[in-house]
């Protein structure tokens, strides 16, 4: 399964809003369609958004409508900007676009096909690096699980969220192959139910036992002492190790500490944002209230209520047992560990 791919000069993606009931792949050569798909969460997950955006830049110039050479860099840069305006929190998006912008600037004097090829190589590199990062995260993270027991995860940090096997789910899948996973408790993850729809679907396909719970059942599950680790992905990791991730991650981290359960964040280094000092500086996207008040087009809430619908929350570094990256496992103090990894990168 390739969540996002470059096929025949188009971006091909699996429409995640229709999972788990329909597997519909969409192909587009229109950057606006792609930006819209990211905004609507047809493509979602921090690493997958980065890969999609990188491919999306290639759609700036239509092969059927050749432009003058001096126009090209400007048009590519404009599409970088419009893709960058889709979602504010996941830093992989901005990191991928920054890499594409660097290529545009470096190759702007070259001809159209040379610039295009340089951009294509960069986008494919971003994709391939993520595949490798997922694999490495899985291997490193599985080592943190020392016995056969249950784990708990939130949202979807799986193949659907990345170019590879996932981040948190790569750890769980690798650990399952090593016989360390009894069962995965999956938070349904309101409002958009990525746990119920996507993570459950991925794990059932892998033959890993899954128990779906409502988000607020996690407290009872962690209290039952059957869970050895909570493992989640990340949308942005600040310099001191605070982690922005799907709304509901922070309460899980508090509950994990309350019950002496390790709280593991799994993310590629492309999710680290050394330019954002701490979590309170990470921009938190607020979603459309209708995502809370409606489900499948049906109103489920009383008319007349206000809604507060942040898509993410921030887990402070002191609640995190380890951050598993493709460049190594970071242990507290996370700020120091992140500084070391950034220097060596």
Q: Which residues bind a second copy (CB under 8 A)?
A: 19-21, 185-191, 193, 196-198, 200-201, 204, 209-221, 223, 247-248, 250-251, 254-255, 258, 292-293, 295-296, 298-310, 313
Q: Are 108 and 73 in contact (CB under 8 A)?
A: yes
Distance CA 148, CA 144 (A): 12
Residue 42 CB, shortest distance to a second copy, in Å, is 17
Report the alpha-carbon angle 18-22-28, nearest 5: 65
Please, which residue, 108 or 217, has the CB nearer to a second copy?
A: 217
* CB-based contact 98:105 (threshold 8 Å): no
Closer of 39 and 209 to a second copy (Cβ):
209
What does 75-117 look like in DSSP terms, one character per residue?
Answer: HHHHHHHHHHTS-SS-HHHHHHHHHHHHHHHHTTTS-HHHHHH
Partners of 310 in beta bridges: 286
The residue (of 131 and 213) whose beta carbon lies closer to a second copy is 213
Q: Considering 187, 235, 242, 326, which one is annotated as catalytic?
A: 235
Residue 223 has a CB neighbour count (10 Å cut-off) of 13
Least distance between a second copy and beta carbon 309 (Å): 8
- Contact residues for 80 (Cβ-Cβ < 8 A; gap 6+): 57, 97, 100, 101, 104
Active site residue 235: yes
Shortest reach from residue 298's CB to a second copy, in Å: 5
Q: How far is CA 28 from CA 31, 36, 93, 223, in A?
A: 8, 11, 19, 47
Structure-token pair, residue 252? 């899980």
Nearer to a second copy, 35 or 172 (CB): 172
User: Coil, helix or strand for 39?
Assistant: helix
> For a second copy, which is the closer residue by CB, 212 or 341?
212
At residue 41, the 3 state secondary structure works out as coil
In terms of CB distance, is 104 or 253 closer to a second copy?
253
**What does the alpha-carbon distance between residue 290 and residue 66 come to, in Å, rounded to a whole number?**
41
| Beta carbon of residue 106, minimum distance to a second copy (angstroms, whole number) | 41
**60 contact partners, CB below 8 Å, separation of at least 6:** 31, 75, 76, 78, 79
Q: How far is the CB of 36 from a second copy (least distance, A)?
A: 23
Instruction: Output 21 or 113, the one with its CB closest to a second copy.
Output: 21
Q: Which residue has 């709280």 as its token pair?
A: 263
184 dihedral zone (left: phi>0; alpha: psi -120 to 50; beta): beta
CB of 251 to a second copy, least distance (A): 4
Element (H, E) at 231: strand 227-232
Q: How far is the CB of 248 from a second copy (least distance, A)?
A: 3
Token pair listed for 337: 């560990």
Catalytic residues: 235
């Amino acid at each position: 399964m390739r969540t996002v791919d470059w096929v025949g000069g188009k971006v091909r993606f699996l429409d995640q809003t229709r999972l788990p009931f329909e597997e519909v792949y969409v192909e587009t050569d229109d950057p606006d369609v792609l930006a819209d798909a990211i905004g609507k969460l047809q493509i979602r997950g921090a690493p997958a958004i980065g890969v999609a955006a990188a491919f999306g830049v290639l759609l700036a110039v239509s092969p059927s409508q050749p432009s003058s050479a001096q126009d090209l860099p400007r048009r590519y840069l404009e599409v970088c900007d419009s893709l960058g305006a889709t979602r504010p929190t996941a830093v992989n998006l901005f990191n991928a676009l920054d890499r594409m912008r660097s290529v545009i600037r470096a190759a702007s004097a070259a001809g159209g096909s040379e610039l295009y090829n340089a951009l294509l190589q960069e986008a494919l590199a971003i994709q391939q690096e993520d595949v490798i990062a997922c694999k490495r995260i899985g291997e490193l993270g599985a080592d943190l699980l020392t016995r056969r027991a249950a784990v708990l995860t939130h949202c979807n940090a799986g193949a659907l969220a990345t170019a590879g096997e996932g981040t948190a789910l790569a750890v769980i899948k690798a650990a399952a192959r090593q016989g360390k996973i009894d069962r995965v408790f999956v938070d349904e993850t309101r409002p958009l139910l990525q746990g119920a729809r996507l993570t459950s679907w991925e794990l059932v396909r892998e033959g890993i036992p899954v128990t779906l719970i409502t988000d607020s059942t996690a407290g009872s599950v962690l209290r039952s002492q059957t869970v050895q680790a909570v493992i989640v992905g990340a949308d942005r990791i600040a310099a001191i190790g605070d982690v922005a991730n799907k709304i509901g991650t922070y309460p899980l981290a508090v509950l994990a500490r309350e019950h002496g359960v390790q709280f593991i964040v799994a993310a590629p280094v492309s999710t680290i944002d050394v330019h954002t000092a701490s979590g309170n500086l990470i921009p938190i996207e607020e979603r459309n209230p209708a995502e809370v008040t409606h489900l499948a087009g049906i109103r489920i809430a009383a008319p007349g209520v206000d809604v507060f619908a942040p898509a993410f929350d921030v887990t402070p570094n002191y609640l995190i047992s380890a951050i598993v990256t493709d460049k190594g496992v970071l242990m507290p103090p996370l700020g120091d560990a992140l500084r070391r990894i950034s220097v060596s990168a």
